[in-house]
Amino acid sequence: MEFLLNTIFWTLAIYGFFEIVKSIVDIFTYTKFQSNGIYLIIAVKNQEEKIEGFLRSSLFKILYGKEDYLKNIIVADLKSQDRTKEIAKKMESQYDCLKVTSWKECKDIIDNVDES
């Protein structure tokens, strides 16, 4: 029984360590955007009925159209009171080019753009 508990404990500890590393990598990835690119920022608030259709339509046009230069889409949630952010977060896990943040985080990203 003790072996089983130790195994569970160490598995969760290792998982936690990898989640921390992943969070650190995400912070550096999304706060050090280069200035030589095109970024699309979509601000949303209380659009749970429409957000998934809008994002899927936009992503389809961007990913499979002639907009191959546009590969960074930021969805900034403006403190939605409905499930808008949850729906966008679900889509973020499906598309590498999509990043869902709060408006404050979006402002931090813009402020930290490398101007070199």
Helix, strand, or coil here: 51?
helix
The predicted pLDDT at position 34 comes to: 55
CA distances from 37 to 69, 95, 113 (A): 8, 18, 11
Q: Please classify residue 71 by burial: count the beta carbons closer than 10 Å to its beta carbon, then call 0-12 exposed, 13-18 middle and 19+ buried.
A: middle
**Nearest CA to 77 among 47, 110, 101?**
101
User: Rounded to whole angstroms, how far apart are CA atoms 109 and 111?
Assistant: 5
Helix, strand, or coil here: 99?
strand
Q: What is the mean pLDDT of each run of 10 residues along the chain (116 residues)?
A: 90 90 71 63 91 88 70 86 92 86 81 63
Domain boundaries, the chain: 1-31, 35-116
Copy the structure tokens of residue 38.
Answer: 């095109």
User: Rounded to whole angstroms, how far apart are CA atoms 6 and 116?
Assistant: 50
Q: Please classify residue 37 by burial: count the beta carbons closer than 10 Å to its beta carbon, then call 0-12 exposed, 13-18 middle and 19+ buried.
A: exposed
